[in-house]
Structure 1
Amino acid sequence: MIRVSDIMEKEIINVKNGKRMGFITDIDMDINEGKIMSFTITGDGGRGLFSRNGEGQVVFFSDILKIGCDTIIVNIGSELNVDQFNI
């Protein structure tokens, strides 16, 4: 079992593009079902319960691939466009 306080300290990483998305600032739960529905994250590095400007990106629980020791890996958005790099 994992605690909410443990989850909120983990950085969110998107597997689609490898970007650091930020930290969880809020959690939406269905109390009737006892399930986490989504997380709100901010990329400003703020780790408070709510973001400073009230804005944030929602990540649905179904988008989570893995909860690790330090990070949460999610699968959202479009993939990284490798054509934009001069490789």
Structure 2
Amino acid sequence: MIKISDLKTRDVVNILDGRKLGNIIDIDLDLENGRVTALILPGRSRGLGIFTRREELVIPWEKIIRIGRDVVLVEVPTVTEIEGRRRSYLLDEDDF
């Protein structure tokens, strides 16, 4: 069993391009069913200065390939495609 606090310390790596996406900042839970539905990572900051909003990268649980000792491997489209969009992005099957 893995604790949520342990997951937050692991690097998340995209297996499609080998890039490190960052560390998990939050986890989306389905409380009714007691399941993790997505991992939330920090995206790029939009704008300049200290008052800019940082978009989030939401990775559905189904896109997680393997959770290892030091790393979480995911399979998502390239980060530049995702971060190029204006709103927070939730990956789903229609985007592939």
Identity of aligned residues (%): 30
What's the TM-score once normalised by structure 2's chain length? 0.68
What's the TM-score once normalised by structure 1's chain length? 0.75
> Unpaired segments of 5 or more residues in structure 2?
45-51, 79-96
Pairwise CA RMSD of aligned residues?
A: 1.8
The answer to which structure has the higher strand fraction is: 2
Figure out how many residues of one structure are paired with residues of the other and give that number: 71
Once superposed, which parts of structure 1, at least 4 consecutive aligned residues long, lie more than 4 Å away? none
Kindly indicate whether structure 1 or structure 2 has the higher relative contact order, using CA contacts under 8 Å at least 6 residues apart: 1
Tell me how far apart the structure 2 counterparts of residues 32 and 39 of structure 1 sit (CA, whole Å).
Answer: 18
**Corresponding residue number in structure 1 for 2:10:** 10
Contact 2:43 2:55 in 1 (8 A): no
Task: Identify if the C-alpha distance between structure 1 residues 43 and 9 changes in structure 2 by more than 3 Å, giving closer, same or farther.
Answer: farther
**Corresponding residue number in structure 2 for 1:63:** 63
